[in-house]
């Protein structure tokens, strides 16, 4: 029996017990449905264990040497390569990815840029109050899920945040208030108790609520009588009292709040609200947890920032980092690329069809440990080992705490890790040959 962290999602639960002889995983204890499925990926029936290359409109198996030769050929033909993904790769692989982008004058970005990276970007001007899962367990008395549905995306987050007993919260769930702000009664509403607060906000009205909270956060007697955004006056008053009176509140920010909202800058105003509450709070504070789903989405921001001084959208020209406002979506939308190298993600399934269509016009190299729509249309597919099961590596949890992932078993067919694949491509490019 061995205790290992699970790389099934960004919570990186480090209390998973695995029984293994080093060849097979016989039993996984303590994992959620997503974690269990993640361990099952090892023997998934659709798993690809050989590199494949598209020839005559079909993907054909090739050996690893041929695969690297094909990768180098495609890269050498490209003048504007785009590297994207990296949220389900270790920090070591992410660094190799950025070094590869530097070497080939590419543009590299992670999934974070269309998710939690938006908050990090905004925080540069407003500031950001973060917290850790440990602090949440030990201190929190208020949990707000804003546009977030952890019950389905990060299943054990509420176990740890809401149903836990901590050093200063020995009574556990009884002392913790849960508030959910969402237009839809999601699965997370299922854990609400009588003293919790369910706020079914009207779609796209988050900004109205934030503005009222900003105006009224220290004056609970002047709440608009008609309420706001579908939330009535009494509930609004309760929300305000909790926000301004919590000893240790945490807001879990989900995609529902990260979504673009036209002209208004919801995230900017949301961060201003948090800063405003915290500056006026005498005894407590409100912190944020960003609910990025991929297990190392936070890692890319750290790796890029620590090594290149920029958290995302790194654009290299003449092997130098160039300051640019352009992000990956601009690049794809303007077709400002002639090759894409996709690592551990599936943009063809995740992005709007018109962007996918543009991606498919140019050669695609995919490095991934699972089958995907992008893998199905790729010109070259390089299968990789599953980090946290078949290889180790560093990963950043959703609260930006580094967790070392462990190798449990060997990968089938000795599939190399993302890091090894990227290193080999980089090495062959540096050596000058295929």
Going from the C-alpha of 327 to that of each of 45, 113, 292, 323, 349, the distances in angstroms are 36, 8, 18, 11, 19
DSSP structure class, residue 342: E
Binding mask 280-309 for another protein (x = CB under 8 A): -------------x----------------
Selected binder of another protein within 7, 10, 116, 149 (CB under 8 A): 149
Q: Is 356 in the site for another protein (CB under 8 A)?
A: yes
Q: Is 152 in the site for another protein (CB under 8 A)?
A: yes
What kind and span of H or E run contains 393?
Answer: strand 393-396
Q: For residues 75 and 424, what is the distance between their CA atoms, to the nearest angstrom?
A: 13
The distance of closest approach from Cβ of residue 413 to another protein in the complex, given in angstroms and rounded to an integer, is 17
Going from the C-alpha of 175 to that of each of 171, 179, 273, 291, 345, the distances in angstroms are 6, 13, 25, 23, 40
Q: Is 204 in the site for another protein (CB under 8 A)?
A: yes
Please give the distance of CA 389 from its chain centroid, rounded to a whole number: 19
Please give the distance of CA 396 from its chain centroid, rounded to a whole number: 10
**∠ Cα 304 404 375 (to 5°):** 65
Q: Are 255 and 107 in contact (CB under 8 A)?
A: no
Torsion-angle region of 223 (φ positive above 0: left; ψ -120 to 50: alpha; else: beta): beta
Binding mask 359-378 for another protein (x = CB under 8 A): -x---------xxxx--xx-
Please identify, using beta-carbon distances, which residue of 224 and 352 lies nearer to another protein: 352
Please identify, using beta-carbon distances, which residue of 10 and 131 lies nearer to another protein: 10
Q: For residues 12 and 294, what is the distance between their CA atoms, to the nearest angstrom?
A: 10
Q: Candidates 171-179, 242-250, 256-264, 415-423: pick the segment binding another protein (CB under 8 A).
A: 256-264
Q: Binding residues for another protein, how many (CB under 8 A)?
A: 50
Selected binder of another protein within 355, 366, 391, 403 (CB under 8 A): 355
| Both structure tokens of 391 | 């290889």
The distance of closest approach from Cβ of residue 401 to another protein in the complex, given in angstroms and rounded to an integer, is 24
Q: Candidates 43-51, 313-321, 395-403, 410-418: pick the segment binding another protein (CB under 8 A).
A: 43-51
Please identify, using beta-carbon distances, which residue of 187 and 306 lies nearer to another protein: 187
The distance of closest approach from Cβ of residue 104 to another protein in the complex, given in angstroms and rounded to an integer, is 24
Question: What angle separates helix 418-431 from helix 64-77, to the nearest 10 degrees?
Answer: 60
Q: Is 311 in the site for another protein (CB under 8 A)?
A: no
Please identify, using beta-carbon distances, which residue of 68 and 381 lies nearer to another protein: 381
Three-class DSSP category at 206: helix
DSSP structure class, residue 30: S
The distance of closest approach from Cβ of residue 171 to another protein in the complex, given in angstroms and rounded to an integer, is 30
Q: Is 155 in the site for another protein (CB under 8 A)?
A: yes
Q: For residues 386 and 127, what is the distance between their CA atoms, to the nearest angstrom?
A: 35
Write out the binding residues for another protein, residues 67-126 only, by CB under 8 A. 114
Q: Is 350 in the site for another protein (CB under 8 A)?
A: yes
Where does this chain bind another protein (CB under 8 A)? 33-34, 37, 40-41, 44-47, 114, 149, 152-153, 155, 183-187, 200, 203-204, 255-256, 259-260, 262, 293, 327, 329-330, 333, 346, 348-357, 360, 370-373, 376-377
């Amino acid at each position: 029996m061995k205790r290992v962290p699970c790389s099934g999602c960004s919570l990186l639960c480090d209390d998973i017990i695995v029984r293994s002889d080093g060849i097979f995983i016989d039993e996984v204890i303590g994992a959620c449905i997503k974690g269990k499925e993640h361990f099952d990926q090892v023997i998934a029936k659709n798993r690809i264990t050989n590199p494949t290359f598209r020839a005559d409109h079909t993907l054909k198996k090739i050996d690893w040497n041929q695969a690297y030769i094909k990768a180098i050929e495609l890269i050498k033909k490209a003048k504007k390569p785009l590297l994207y993904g990296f949220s389900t790769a270790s920090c070591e692989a992410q660094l190799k990815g950025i070094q590869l982008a530097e070497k080939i004058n590419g543009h590299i970005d992670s999934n974070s840029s269309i998710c939690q990276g938006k908050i990090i970007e905004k925080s540069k001007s407003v500031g950001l109050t973060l917290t850790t899962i440990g602090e949440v367990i030990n201190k929190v008395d208020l949990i707000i899920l804003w546009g977030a549905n952890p019950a389905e995306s990060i299943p054990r987050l509420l176990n740890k945040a809401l149903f836990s007993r901590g050093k200063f919260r020995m009574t556990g769930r009884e002392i913790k208030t849960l508030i959910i702000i969402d237009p839809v009664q999601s699965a997370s509403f299922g854990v609400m108790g009588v003293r919790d607060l369910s706020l079914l906000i009207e779609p796209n009205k988050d900004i109205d609520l934030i503005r009222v909270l900003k105006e009224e956060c220290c004056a609970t007697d002047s709440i608009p009588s008609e309420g706001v955004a579908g939330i009535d006056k009494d509930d609004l008053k309760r929300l305000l009292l909790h926000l301004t009176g919590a000893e240790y509140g945490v807001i879990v920010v989900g995609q529902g709040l990260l979504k673009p909202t036209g002209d208004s800058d919801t995230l900017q105003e949301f961060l201003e609200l948090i800063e405003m509450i915290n500056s006026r709070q005498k005894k407590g504070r409100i912190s944020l947890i960003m609910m990025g789903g991929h297990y190392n989405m936070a890692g890319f921001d750290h790796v890029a920032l620590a090594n290149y001084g920029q958290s995302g959208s790194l654009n290299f020209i003449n092997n130098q980092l160039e300051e640019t406002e352009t992000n990956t979506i601009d690049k794809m939308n303007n077709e400002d690329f002639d090759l894409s190298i996709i690592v551990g993600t599936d943009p063809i399934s995740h992005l709007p069809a018109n962007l996918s269509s543009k991606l498919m016009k140019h050669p695609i190299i995919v490095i991934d440990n699972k089958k995907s729509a992008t893998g199905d249309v790729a010109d070259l597919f390089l299968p990789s080992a599953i980090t946290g099961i078949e290889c180790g590596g560093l990963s950043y949890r959703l609260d930006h705490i580094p967790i070392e992932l462990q190798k449990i078993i060997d990968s089938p067919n000795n599939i190399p890790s993302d890091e090894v694949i990227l290193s080999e491509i980089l090495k062959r490019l540096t050596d000058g040959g295929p």
